[in-house]
Structure 1
Amino acid sequence: MSITLEAIHLLEDRLQSLLSNYEFLKKENEILLQSSTNFQQKILEQAQIIASQKKEYDLLKIAKTIDGSGTDTRDTKLKINTLIREIDKCIIQLQE
């Protein structure tokens, strides 16, 4: 009988240990998920900042080219022509 009781106590101890480990891992998983979400949000914010700065850089590049201080005048003229065509298309669509 004593061996059976010892086995039950050992089983209870192991079960308690497993439950304790489960709760710890569950909390750790929640923390990691929150951290992951925060990092993903920061990555999205940084991507938006990069996109905004790239647009600003492109605008500055166009402005310098129009000013005549750069070597990309041909590219700028092509970009302006493309923008004008897009604006014309929009105007035509609005008139329909």
Structure 2
Amino acid sequence: MGNITEIVDSLENKISKLLHKMEILRQHNLKLEKELTLSRKVLAEKETVITDWEEKYKALKLANAMLGSSESKTETKLKINTLIREIDSCIAQLSE
């Protein structure tokens, strides 16, 4: 009979340890899930910032192309003339 009692006590002890370890792992899992959610939020914000900067870069690149450097003044003048012709065409279509 004493042998069975020892086995039962051992099993209860092991089950208790397993339940404690399971609770610790559950809490750790919750912590990791919160960190993952926060990391995803930060990543989304950074992606938005990157997209904004890319748009600003494209706008600046276009503005620099429109202003032209001393090397590409002729090309810039041609672009401006093309834009003026397109605007004139739009105005003519609107006035009809």
Fold shared, TM-score > 0.5 on shorter chain: yes
Is structure 2 residue 36 aligned with structure 1 residue 36? yes
Per-residue deviation at 1:55? Answer: 0.1
Q: Note the C-alpha offset of 1:58.
A: 0.3
Q: CA RMSD in A?
A: 2.4
CA–CA distance in structure 1, aligned partners of residues 44 and 7 of structure 2: 54
* Amino acid across the alignment from 2:42: K
Displacement of 1:37 after TM fit?
0.6
Query: Which structure ranks higher in relative contact order (CA pairs < 8 Å, sequence separation ≥ 6)?
Result: 2
Report 1:68-83 matches (<5 A).
68-69=68-69
Q: d(CA) in 1 for partners of 2:34 and 2:59?
A: 38
Q: How many equivalent residue pairs?
A: 78
* TM-score relative to the length of structure 2: 0.73
Q: Is there any run of 5+ residues in structure 2 with no aligned partner, and where?
A: 91-96
Deviations 1:35-86 (A, max 9, x none): 0011111110010000000000000000111001286x68xx5xxx7xx8xx
Q: Aligned residue for 1:26?
A: 26
User: Normalised by the size of structure 1, how large is the TM-score?
Assistant: 0.73
Residues 41-60 of structure 1: pairs in structure 2 closer than 5 A: 41-60=41-60
- Return the alpha-carbon distance in structure 2 between the equivalents of residues 21 and 37 of structure 1: 24
The runs of at least 4 aligned residues of structure 1 exceeding 4 Å deviation read none
Identity of aligned residues (%): 26
